[in-house]
Amino acid sequence: QVQLVESGGGLVQAGDSLRLSCAASGSSFSRYIMAWFRQAPGREREFVAVITWTGGYSDYADSVKGRFIISRDNAKNTMYLDMNTLKPEDTANYYCAASTTGAISEIKDARAYGYWGQGIQVTVSI
């Protein structure tokens, strides 16, 4: 099993940048595909970004492509999400998640992730 803890959220203005971190403990971090999801009030949880075991492949939701960068440091058991040019519509609770799936076709689906952090709030004001 793996335990996940997010940090780095907060209140920023539109156009600002923010870095989220996800610290993992309890199991071999490099075994997991890692992802970020987010959920805004009244909306379903949605995929944001994913990165595979050694960082060789990553993918993004269209809404964040070109603005967000996902990365991981397996030596530090940590994943990151660098969020740039933030918009008010990026306001949400952000969750990191870990999956042992080997199917690339599933990695944008929240149902493939068995481990979740508690979530951290990101608020972008106008």
Structural tokens at position 102: 């080997």
* SS3 per residue for the chain: CCEEEEECCEEEECCCCEEEEEEEECCCHHHCEEEEEEECCCCCCEEEEEECCCCCCEEECCCCCCCEEEEEECCCCEEEEEECCCCHHHCEEEEEEEECCCCHHHCCCHHHCCEECCCEEEEEEC
Q: Residue 102: which pLDDT band, with cuts at 50, 70 and 90?
A: confident
Contact 35, 113 (CB under 8 A): yes
Mean pLDDT score of the chain: 96
pLDDT (tens digit, 9 = 90+) per residue, 61-99?
A: 999 999 999 999 999 999 999 999 999 999 999 999 999
pLDDT (tens digit, 9 = 90+) per residue, 19-43?
A: 999 999 987 999 999 999 999 999 9
